[in-house]
Amino acid sequence: QLLEKSGLEEDVNYVLQATENEDGTKIKGENGGQLRPDAIFNLPEGKCLIIDSKVSLTAYTDYINASVEEQPAMLALHLRSIKAHVDELARKEYPKYVKNSADFVMMFVPNEGAYLAALNADRTLWESAYHRQVVLISPTHLISVLKLMYQLWTRDKQTKNAMKIAEDTGRLYDKLVNFVTDLESIGAHLDKATVAYEEAYKKFSTGRGNVLSRVENIRELGVKTAKKLQAGEE
């Protein structure tokens, strides 16, 4: 439910029960056995975080339902269960076999009360787990982590969009420069064509002794024609 409401997209921003790295290689332990992290959260720049959520709350439920006299013993069992799972995660060494992973795995305790009860029962629990590359997190912590990851992906998208806009703008500017250059070239050719046209027209019809006036003189000598040319000025 937390993942569904986080805004992150499955198989894009995170993968559940992954058996392969992003490059297609199998996630295997030191003895070659298959490893299957509960969730791998992809981060920008190719990094990732591992979250394990297989913490048992059976002992904590027994502790909640126990009588006052039985609660100390049940709390000890709950703490033992948490420590056993820390040991299991430490042995699996997920960060060693999941490529580009952070150097720790987050152990999700899916109940705030169970998380606090374990920490209160052993004030050294969190630190000792951390030194074994296991970070204990509660639902409140996970929500914060998910929000942080969502913000990272949002900023990454915005940055990439800004870079794409900058690249497209640069290409557009280059196209505009080339277009202006082409227009200037066309203008220069048009100017040359205009000058050439005016020179040719002058020789043909407007200049002194132009072709049209000479032809018109010939017509006036008696050549029969169906049409009459307009001679230019001499």
Ramachandran assignment for 8, one of left (phi > 0), alpha (psi -120 to 50 degrees), beta (any other): beta
Q: Are 69 and 98 in contact (CB under 8 A)?
A: no
Ramachandran assignment for 133, one of left (phi > 0), alpha (psi -120 to 50 degrees), beta (any other): left
pTM above 0.85, yes or no: no
For residue 48, pLDDT beyond 80: yes
For residue 7, give the 3-state DSSP assignment: coil
**197-221 core/surface letters (b: 16 or more CB in 10 A; e: else):** eeeeeeeebebeebeebeebeeeee
Q: Are 27 and 20 in contact (CB under 8 A)?
A: yes
Residue 38 CB-density burial (10 A; 0-12 exposed, 13-18 middle, 19+ buried): middle
Classify strands 39-42 and 48-52 as parallel, antiparallel or unpaired: antiparallel
Higher pLDDT, residue 7 or 217: 7
For residue 233, pLDDT beyond 50: no
Query: H-helix or E-strand containing 71?
Result: helix 71-92
Section 195-199 average pLDDT: 79
